[in-house]
């Protein structure tokens, strides 16, 4: 009987502890979770280069505002421009088609005249023998095929024009987004190699705040949870101004930083106003959504 009471006390102790631990986890889920060691970076950043070797003719300058689709780098392109003009002239030339059409009309008229002459003459003594009529008919059919050949040639010239246009455009680099030129690595007149960095473009419309949460807290957070970000904006001769923004948690790492025992997370906020700069001090807090019911059955197992 004493053994049963001792076992009951042990089980009661474990059960009490389990309920306490579960309740503690529930309180943590309801509390806000602080993110440590936050750093701020712009989300969209691109380092631009060319797909060919050449010499820079034009390049955007540091500080320039560029738009999506705008040419920001141009290599010397005199030769491909000349090739494009030649290809355009050939594609626009309809002379071969017109000549083929006239030749077809002449061949058809000659054949029709021979048929009419044979109809007038006697059957036993035709003006044109059958072999001659066959030759005229074949000439008329061949003339029609020459029209198709001329049209096909023009289509090939149009394709060559497109090829020349694509060749010319390979000497240009366009920005894939709106943004500011923040770095210029090469200047006008300098030679560049394929894939060599030339300029960097940064879009400031979206800012990422990245930091770390404790492993214990990482089980309580998930992608999509709301976050609150507080920026510390320096001011001359006074305390920093605190500005608060809201956003959404966009990432929770699946691995743990072994030495520090933390998990990496990040969220993004709207910065289309351009108020915040990369590297500005900030703190972030994750706001868990609601409470989770404690699982007493699993935690009370001895």
Give the pLDDT of residue 89: 96
1 assigned to some structural domain:
no
Q: Which pair of tokens denotes residue 251?
A: 């990432």
DSSP-assigned letter for residue 219: T
Structure-block tokens of residue 85: 């003009």
C-alpha dihedral sign at 128, 131, 137, 140: negative
pLDDT (0 to 100) of residue 121: 87
211 and 144 within one domain: no
d(Cα 269, Cα 227) in Å, to the nearest integer? 9
- Alpha-carbon distances, residue 106 vs 118, 142, 145 (angstroms): 19, 12, 14
Q: CA 281 → CA 36, 148, 236, 238, 277, distances in Å?
A: 12, 71, 16, 16, 10
Q: How many CB atoms lie within 10 A of CB 127?
A: 16
What separation in angstroms does the CA of 88 have from each of 45, 80, 138, 214? 37, 12, 35, 65
110 part of a folded domain: yes
Q: Residue 233 is part of a domain; what is its CATH number?
A: 2.40.30.170
- Domain span at 294: 29-43+205-299
Does residue 141 sit in the same domain as residue 214? no
In a domain, 249, yes or no: yes
Instruction: Let me know: does 35 contact 208? Beta carbons within 8 Å.
Output: no
The confidence score (pLDDT) of residue 23 equals 37
User: In terms of Cα–Cα distance, which of 218, 287, 279 is closest to 38?
Assistant: 279
Residues 38 and 91 in one domain: no
Of 132, 150, 168, the position where a domain reaches its end is: 150
- Residue 124 confidence (pLDDT): 80
34 and 116 assigned to the same domain: no
Residue 184, domain member (yes or no): no
Same domain as 210, residue 293: yes
Residues 216 and 144 in one domain: no
Examine the domain organization and report whether 144 and 221 are in the same domain.
no
Of how many residues is the chain composed? 302
Q: How far apart are CA 187 and CA 60, in angstroms?
A: 9
Residue 286, in any domain of the structure: yes
Together in a domain, 222 and 268: yes
Distance CA 106, CA 99 (A): 11
Residue 284 lies in a domain: yes
Type and span of the H or E element at 228: strand 226-233
Whether 155 is covered by a domain: the verdict is no
- DSSP strand pairing (54-59 vs 191-192): antiparallel
Which sign does the torsion angle of CA 16, 21, 26, 30 carry? positive
Q: Could you give the CA distance from residue 158 to residue 164 in angstroms, rounded to a whole number?
A: 10
- Residue 198 located in a structural domain: no
Same domain, 291 and 218: yes
Number of domains in the chain: 2
Scanning the structure block, which residue is given the tokens 């030769």? Answer: 79
Query: What does the pLDDT read at residue 125?
Result: 85
Q: Of 123, 150, 177, which one is at a domain's C-terminal end?
A: 150
What integer pLDDT is reported at residue 290 of this predicted model?
56
Concatenated DSSP letters of 99-124: HHHHHHHHHHHHHHHHHHHHHHS-SS
Positions of the chain with pLDDT under 70: 1-30, 290-302
* Distance from C-alpha of 268 to C-alpha of 249, rounded to nearest angstrom: 7
Sort 302 into a burial class: Cβ within 10 Å, 0-12 / 13-18 / 19+.
exposed
Sign for the pseudo-dihedral over CA of 284, 285, 287, 288: positive
Of 108, 126, 150, the position where a domain reaches its end is 150
Task: Report pLDDT for 298.
Answer: 36
């Amino acid at each position: 009987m004493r053994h049963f009471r001792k076992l009951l006390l042990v089980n009661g102790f474990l059960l009490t502890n389990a309920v306490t631990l579960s309740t503690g986890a529930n309180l943590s889920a309801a509390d806000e979770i602080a993110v440590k060691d936050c750093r701020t970076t712009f989300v969209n950043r691109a380092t631009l280069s060319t797909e060919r070797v050449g010499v820079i003719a034009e390049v955007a300058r540091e500080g320039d505002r560029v738009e999506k689709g705008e040419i920001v780098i141009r290599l010397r392109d005199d030769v491909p421009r000349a090739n494009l003009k030649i290809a355009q002239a050939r594609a626009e030339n309809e002379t071969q088609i017109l000549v083929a059409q006239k030749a077809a009309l002449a061949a058809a008229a000659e054949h029709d005249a021979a048929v009419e002459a044979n109809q007038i003459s006697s059957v036993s003594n035709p003006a044109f023998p059958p072999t001659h009529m066959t030759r005229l008919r074949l000439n008329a059919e061949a003339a029609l095929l020459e029209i198709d050949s001329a049209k096909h040639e023009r289509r090939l010239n149009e394709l060559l024009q497109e090829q020349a246009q694509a060749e010319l455009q390979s000497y240009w680099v366009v920005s894939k987004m709106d943004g500011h030129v923040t770095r210029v690595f090469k200047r006008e007149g300098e030679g560049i190699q394929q894939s060599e960095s030339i300029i960097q473009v940064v879009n400031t419309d979206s800012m990422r705040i990245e930091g770390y949460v404790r492993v214990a807290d990482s089980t309580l957070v998930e992608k999509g949870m709301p976050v609150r970000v507080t920026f510390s904006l320096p001011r001359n001769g006074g305390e920093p101004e605190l500005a608060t923004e809201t956003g959404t948690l966009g990432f929770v790492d699946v691995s743990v930083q072994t030495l520090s025992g933390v998990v990496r997370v990040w969220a993004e906020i709207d910065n289309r106003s351009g108020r915040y700069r990369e590297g500005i001090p900030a703190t972030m807090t994750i706001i868990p959504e609601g409470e989770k019911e404690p699982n007493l059955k699993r935690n009370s197992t001895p």
